[in-house]
Amino acid sequence: MEQLLQQVASGLANGAIYALLALALVMIFVSTNHINFAQGEMAMFSAFVCWQLLNWGYSFWVALPATMLFSFTIGVLIERIILRPLHTAPLLSVVVVFIGLLAIFHSLAGAIWTHTVKPFPSPFPDFSLVHSGIIGPHQIGMVVVAVGMLGLLFCFFRFTPLGLAMRAAALNATSARLVGINVDWMLALGWGLAATVGSVAGVLVAPVVYLEPNMMAGILLYGFAGALVGGISSPGGAVAGGFIVGVLENMVAYLGNMLERATGFYLIGNGEKLTVALIIVITVLTLKPSGLFGHVTVKRV
């Protein structure tokens, strides 16, 4: 029983990361209809920046905000400089640009910080309050920070004029221009915010998977699976989807282990977690492409 709870708890902790990445993907998708394949590598690069700042002796209280600011700026610059000229370009050109970005961030991180795996300190104190054995302090920290971040974003989009303007620009660009909103800047801001959300995910997950240029490869897939499960057009759904995928992958592995222990027959285990994520992606795309919480896009013809 305790083992099951442990698995659920760590699933939620991982799910928090997937939820953040899924949200970052959805934020860009709803306003541009593009999936940013470089989202994971951008988060990885941000985690390296944070590590560098920590290494130079800054505390987390300085390093994390600085990293978020850096990521925000990079996100805005990518949109303004690289994607702006491609606004009317065919989808395939944009996909190629995203893959290019992915490769650039990947090799840049390798060139600057080498491919050696580095440990990343957990920003959370080892508070003894939670020594129940079910969930570790870093895992609790991951969930708290992720949920806090999601709450802040929700309030920003729901209650501030700028958040409302960004939503309006994403929903209907033409109408947004007709009420005087500078849609181009809203897109750039959206990119900046998505990069910031991603950077937090990168920093939170780095102590778990260790720091190296490949660290986000699998995690982005989980995030993508989460976004698809929840509905790629629904920010709330993406968050829920992230948590669902996090718990689900652990449950599958857990049940596989149980099965093996009971019958000696190995069907599925920890090694197949990523496969599970991919199966989820394919199943959702086949059975319910709009996701659990997404809405079907209807085009008037």
Partner 1 sequence: MSNMLEVKDLKAYYGPSQALHGISFSLSKGGITTLLGANGAGKTTTLRAICGMVRAEGSVIIDGEPVTGKATESVVRLGVGHVPEGRGTFTELSVEENLRVAAYTRRDKAAAARDLEMVFTYFPRLKERMAQQAGTLSGGEQQMLAISRALMLGPRLMLLDEPSFGLAPLIVQEIFRIMRRINEEAKVSMLLVEQNAALALELADHAYVLETGRVVMSGTSAEVRSDEQIRKSYLGY
Neighbours of 85 (CB within 10 A): 10
Among positions 92, 178, 287, 301, the unique one binding partner 1 when judged by CB under 8 A: 178
Among positions 55, 182, 270, 283, the unique one binding partner 1 when judged by CB under 8 A: 182
**Gap between the Cα atoms of 245 and 228, Å rounded:** 10
Contact flag: residue 90 with partner 1 (CB under 8 A): no
CB of 182 to partner 1, least distance (A): 5
Q: Please list every residue from 233 through 272 that binds partner 1, using CB under 8 A.
A: none
Report yes or no: 48 and 279 within 8 Å, Cβ to Cβ: no
CB of 243 to partner 1, least distance (A): 24
Nearer to partner 1, 118 or 177 (CB): 177
Contact flag: residue 4 with partner 1 (CB under 8 A): no
**Dihedral through CA 46, CA 50, CA 52, CA 53, nearest 10?**
140
Q: Applying CB under 8 A, what is the total number of residues that bind partner 1?
A: 17
Contact flag: residue 282 with partner 1 (CB under 8 A): no
Contact flag: residue 168 with partner 1 (CB under 8 A): yes
Report yes or no: 223 and 279 within 8 Å, Cβ to Cβ: no
- Single out the segment in contact with partner 1 by CB under 8 A; choices: 147-155, 179-187, 194-202, 246-254: 179-187
Q: How many residues does the chain have?
A: 301
Query: Which phi and psi angles does 70 have, rounded to 5°?
Result: -60, -45
Among positions 20, 42, 63, 181, the unique one binding partner 1 when judged by CB under 8 A: 181
Contact flag: residue 27 with partner 1 (CB under 8 A): no
Contact flag: residue 59 with partner 1 (CB under 8 A): no
Nearer to partner 1, 155 or 279 (CB): 155
- Residue numbers of the site for partner 1 (CB under 8 A)? 161, 164-165, 167-168, 171-172, 174-183
